[in-house]
Amino acid sequence: MVSQIIKDQIALEKLQSFLQKNALPFRDVKLEGSVYLYYLDDHKQLVASGGLELFGSYALLRSVAVDQEQRGKKFGQQIVHDLLTKAKSLGVTELYLLTETAERFFENKGFTKISREQAPEAILNSSEFKTVCPVSAVCMVNKITLA
Protein backbone atom coordinates (compact mmCIF):
# COMPACT_ATOMS: atom_id res chain seq x y z
CA MET A 1 0.00 0.00 0.00
CA VAL A 2 1.49 3.32 -1.10
CA SER A 3 0.46 6.64 0.47
CA GLN A 4 0.28 9.97 -1.33
CA ILE A 5 -0.55 13.45 -0.12
CA ILE A 6 -3.56 14.94 -1.85
CA LYS A 7 -2.38 18.10 -3.61
CA ASP A 8 -4.92 18.88 -6.33
CA GLN A 9 -8.64 19.08 -6.99
CA ILE A 10 -8.78 15.85 -9.01
CA ALA A 11 -7.28 13.82 -6.15
CA LEU A 12 -9.53 15.64 -3.67
CA GLU A 13 -12.61 14.66 -5.67
CA LYS A 14 -11.46 11.02 -5.69
CA LEU A 15 -11.07 11.20 -1.91
CA GLN A 16 -14.52 12.73 -1.49
CA SER A 17 -16.05 9.96 -3.59
CA PHE A 18 -14.19 7.33 -1.54
CA LEU A 19 -15.39 8.86 1.72
CA GLN A 20 -18.97 8.98 0.47
CA LYS A 21 -18.74 5.29 -0.53
CA ASN A 22 -17.56 4.52 3.01
CA ALA A 23 -20.38 6.52 4.65
CA LEU A 24 -18.10 9.24 6.03
CA PRO A 25 -18.55 13.02 5.80
CA PHE A 26 -17.07 14.34 2.56
CA ARG A 27 -18.68 17.64 1.58
CA ASP A 28 -16.54 19.77 3.91
CA VAL A 29 -13.23 18.04 3.07
CA LYS A 30 -10.90 20.64 1.56
CA LEU A 31 -7.22 21.13 0.83
CA GLU A 32 -6.78 24.50 2.56
CA GLY A 33 -5.55 24.13 6.14
CA SER A 34 -5.47 20.36 5.85
CA VAL A 35 -3.29 17.40 4.98
CA TYR A 36 -5.03 14.37 3.49
CA LEU A 37 -3.41 11.10 2.56
CA TYR A 38 -4.80 8.46 0.30
CA TYR A 39 -3.49 4.96 -0.06
CA LEU A 40 -3.28 2.98 -3.28
CA ASP A 41 -3.01 -0.76 -3.73
CA ASP A 42 -0.78 -2.51 -6.27
CA HIS A 43 -3.39 -1.80 -8.97
CA LYS A 44 -3.37 1.94 -8.16
CA GLN A 45 -6.87 1.71 -6.69
CA LEU A 46 -7.77 3.95 -3.75
CA VAL A 47 -8.18 1.62 -0.75
CA ALA A 48 -7.71 3.84 2.32
CA SER A 49 -7.55 7.44 3.48
CA GLY A 50 -7.00 9.73 6.42
CA GLY A 51 -6.45 13.38 7.11
CA LEU A 52 -5.60 16.19 9.45
CA GLU A 53 -7.35 19.55 9.73
CA LEU A 54 -4.77 21.91 11.18
CA PHE A 55 -5.44 24.58 13.81
CA GLY A 56 -2.00 25.76 14.94
CA SER A 57 -0.73 23.34 17.58
CA TYR A 58 -4.05 21.47 17.47
CA ALA A 59 -5.35 19.21 14.74
CA LEU A 60 -8.43 17.18 13.98
CA LEU A 61 -7.97 13.62 12.75
CA ARG A 62 -10.64 12.74 10.24
CA SER A 63 -11.62 10.77 7.16
CA VAL A 64 -9.89 7.59 8.31
CA ALA A 65 -11.41 4.96 6.04
CA VAL A 66 -10.44 1.57 4.67
CA ASP A 67 -12.18 -0.05 1.72
CA GLN A 68 -14.53 -2.82 2.87
CA GLU A 69 -12.57 -5.50 0.99
CA GLN A 70 -9.27 -4.37 2.55
CA ARG A 71 -10.34 -4.35 6.20
CA GLY A 72 -8.57 -6.62 8.65
CA LYS A 73 -5.16 -6.03 7.07
CA LYS A 74 -4.02 -3.43 9.63
CA PHE A 75 -4.31 -0.56 7.13
CA GLY A 76 -6.16 1.52 9.74
CA GLN A 77 -3.19 1.18 12.08
CA GLN A 78 -0.84 2.32 9.33
CA ILE A 79 -3.01 5.34 8.52
CA VAL A 80 -3.18 6.49 12.14
CA HIS A 81 0.57 5.94 12.57
CA ASP A 82 1.31 7.97 9.43
CA LEU A 83 -1.00 10.79 10.51
CA LEU A 84 0.42 10.91 14.03
CA THR A 85 3.91 11.12 12.53
CA LYS A 86 2.79 13.89 10.16
CA ALA A 87 1.06 15.79 12.97
CA LYS A 88 4.19 15.59 15.11
CA SER A 89 6.35 16.86 12.22
CA LEU A 90 4.00 19.85 11.87
CA GLY A 91 4.30 20.74 15.57
CA VAL A 92 0.85 19.52 16.57
CA THR A 93 0.67 18.85 20.32
CA GLU A 94 -2.95 17.72 20.61
CA LEU A 95 -4.78 15.62 18.05
CA TYR A 96 -8.58 15.41 18.38
CA LEU A 97 -11.18 13.23 16.71
CA LEU A 98 -14.85 12.33 16.76
CA THR A 99 -15.98 8.75 16.22
CA GLU A 100 -19.25 6.89 16.25
CA THR A 101 -17.84 3.43 15.64
CA ALA A 102 -14.14 3.15 16.45
CA GLU A 103 -13.63 4.27 20.05
CA ARG A 104 -11.80 1.08 21.06
CA PHE A 105 -9.57 1.20 17.96
CA PHE A 106 -8.46 4.75 18.78
CA GLU A 107 -7.99 3.96 22.48
CA ASN A 108 -5.48 1.34 21.37
CA LYS A 109 -3.65 4.08 19.42
CA GLY A 110 -3.17 6.33 22.45
CA PHE A 111 -6.36 8.41 22.27
CA THR A 112 -8.34 9.20 25.42
CA LYS A 113 -12.06 9.90 25.63
CA ILE A 114 -12.96 13.43 26.73
CA SER A 115 -16.09 15.56 26.72
CA ARG A 116 -16.51 17.81 23.69
CA GLU A 117 -16.36 20.88 25.92
CA GLN A 118 -12.74 20.01 26.79
CA ALA A 119 -11.62 20.53 23.18
CA PRO A 120 -10.07 23.93 22.35
CA GLU A 121 -12.22 26.59 20.71
CA ALA A 122 -10.57 26.19 17.29
CA ILE A 123 -11.51 22.50 17.24
CA LEU A 124 -15.02 23.20 18.58
CA ASN A 125 -15.55 25.68 15.74
CA SER A 126 -14.59 23.18 13.02
CA SER A 127 -17.35 21.97 10.71
CA GLU A 128 -16.74 18.43 11.98
CA PHE A 129 -17.71 19.49 15.51
CA LYS A 130 -20.34 22.10 14.66
CA THR A 131 -22.43 20.44 11.98
CA VAL A 132 -21.01 17.26 10.46
CA CYS A 133 -20.84 14.76 13.33
CA PRO A 134 -23.78 14.11 15.65
CA VAL A 135 -23.55 15.05 19.32
CA SER A 136 -23.58 11.33 20.10
CA ALA A 137 -20.10 10.96 18.54
CA VAL A 138 -17.34 10.27 21.06
CA CYS A 139 -14.65 12.95 21.36
CA MET A 140 -11.07 11.77 21.88
CA VAL A 141 -7.62 13.36 22.14
CA ASN A 142 -4.04 12.21 21.79
CA LYS A 143 -1.52 14.50 23.51
CA ILE A 144 1.51 14.21 21.27
CA THR A 145 4.99 14.31 22.76
CA LEU A 146 7.26 16.27 20.43
CA ALA A 147 10.54 15.07 21.95
Concatenated DSSP letters for the chain?
-EEEE--SHHHHHHHHHHHHHTT---TT--STTEEEEEEE-TTS-EEEEEEEEEETTEEEEEEEEE-GGGTTSSHHHHHHHHHHHHHHHTT--EEEEEESS-HHHHHTTT-EEE-GGGS-HHHHTSHIIIIIS-TTSEEEEEE----
Mean pLDDT over 41-46 rounds to 89
Confidence check: pLDDT of 142 > 90: yes
Mean pLDDT over 46-52 rounds to 94
Confidence check: pLDDT of 101 > 90: no
Confidence check: pLDDT of 108 > 80: yes
pLDDT category of residue 147 using cuts at 50, 70 and 90: low
Confidence check: pLDDT of 85 > 80: yes
Mean pLDDT over 19-47 rounds to 90
Mean pLDDT of the chain: 91
Architecture of domain 2-143: 3-Layer(aba) Sandwich (3.40)
Confidence check: pLDDT of 57 > 90: yes
Confidence check: pLDDT of 26 > 80: yes
Model pLDDT for residues 62-82, shown as the tens digit of each residue: 989 899 888 888 888 999 999
Percent of the chain with pLDDT over 70: 99
Mean pLDDT over 92-102 rounds to 94
